[in-house]
Structure 1
Amino acid sequence: MARIARATGLLARGALWVAGIGLVSMTAMIACQVFWRYVLNDSIVWTEPASVMVMGWFIFLGAAVGIREGYHLSFDVVLYFLPDRVVKVLHTVSDLAVGGFGLAMIWYGASLAYRTSGNVLPSLGISGAFDFLPLVAGGALVALFSAERIARRAAGLQTARFGEEATID
């Protein structure tokens, strides 16, 4: 399990790097567009659709890493008053629900990509399917990281935190 945790940790770190690079790239594209439009009185036609596409990547990859790290939205006030065993069961139920959502992201994202694959994004000249690939990739990571959290809990290991090795509870 420790080997799997290291592999998914590297995957999460890579996804976070890609998300960070995407955020910086999107910011640069928008800055260039503003400069071109308001200073040079011209426009770069591809920056808006490209920045929206890049934004999809960094949102979904970043959200998947947040799932792995346990930073996703939760309401856990009641968990402080429950026995540890019940808390672990409720965390597992939560991870199952999140993993199911990740699988739905894969299914419906792939369906949308397939249905728009024949469309061409005019300013970019690429298939419309590329708009939905972040949904599929993010869903795959969400499902994988949710399954990892369940497996770690079942093996008696702590759930992953960014940069930490697998340890026994």
Structure 2
Amino acid sequence: MMHHGRFHRALVKVLSALCAVLFAALVLDVLWGVFTRQVLNDQPAWTDELARFLLVWLALLGGVLAYADDRHLGVDVLVSRLDPAAQRIALLVSHLGVFGFSLAVLVAGGVELFVSRWEAGQMMSALDIRKAWFYLVLPLAGSLITLMAGGKVIRSLKSFGERGEAR
């Protein structure tokens, strides 16, 4: 089994590269859409649909990256005033909440949404692909966040035997 540190770094590296590609594709798509609308006066319908697709995938996979490196939005005004033991408990509760939410909503709900859209045969009108592909990012991102949250829960539990703050 791969050491957590190496796995984490490899996952972040792959996700960073994927997000960079998605972002570049999004920028090119939007620029092409603006050019064809403003200059050629004939914007292809697929540019808007592709931009939505790429933006949703970029946002969710970017959220995975943010959580992986503890860069997600957080309000620590109250937690920072707690003693170190209470901070470790708050951190553990936070990671458990993320674990539960990502597993129940993103993974379970995302799989259900993906399967139902696949079975319904719904298509994205301009891109002419199954709409299920649009929703696949939910269980994908949810699985990655669940995996990371599980690791953070384990590290938080181990920190109770250590002194100082846990991360």
TM-score tier, shorter chain, comes to 0.7 to 0.9
Amino acid at match of 2:21: I
Structure 2 residue 134 is matched with structure 1 residue 108: no
Structure 1 stretch displaced more, 71-80 or 5-14: 71-80
Query: Which residue in the other structure is 2:98 paired with?
Result: 98
Query: Which residue in the other structure is 2:124 paired with?
Result: 121
Of the candidates 140, 144, 147, which is equivalent to residue 143 of structure 2? 140
RMSD: 1.9
Deviation at 1:107, TM superposition (A): 1.1
Greater relative contact order, per chain length (Cα 8 Å cut-off, separation 6+):
1
Query: Which residue in the other structure is 2:35 paired with?
Result: 35
CA distance in 2, matches of 1:73, 1:98: 13
Deviation at 1:53, TM superposition (A): 0.9
- CA contact 1:109–1:133 (8 Å) conserved in 2: yes
* Residues 80-95 of structure 1 aligned to structure 2 (within 5 Å): 80-95=80-95
Deviation at 1:150, TM superposition (A): 1.5
Query: Which residue in the other structure is 2:45 paired with?
Result: 45
Amino acid at match of 1:76: D
Give the total of aligned pairs. Answer: 159
CA distance in 2, matches of 1:81, 1:19: 35
TM-score, normalised via structure 2 length:
0.86
Q: Percent identity?
A: 25
- CA contact 1:56–1:135 (8 Å) conserved in 2: no
CA distance in 1, matches of 2:158, 2:9: 17
1:14–1:33 Cα change, 3 Å: same
- CA contact 2:91–2:156 (8 Å) conserved in 1: no
CA distance in 2, matches of 1:150, 1:5: 15
Which string of whole-angstrom CA distances, capped at 9 and with x for unpartnered residues, describes residues 117-169 of structure 1?
A: 1112121121110110111111111111111212223334963xxxxxxxxxx
- Structure 2 unaligned residues grouped into runs of 5+: none
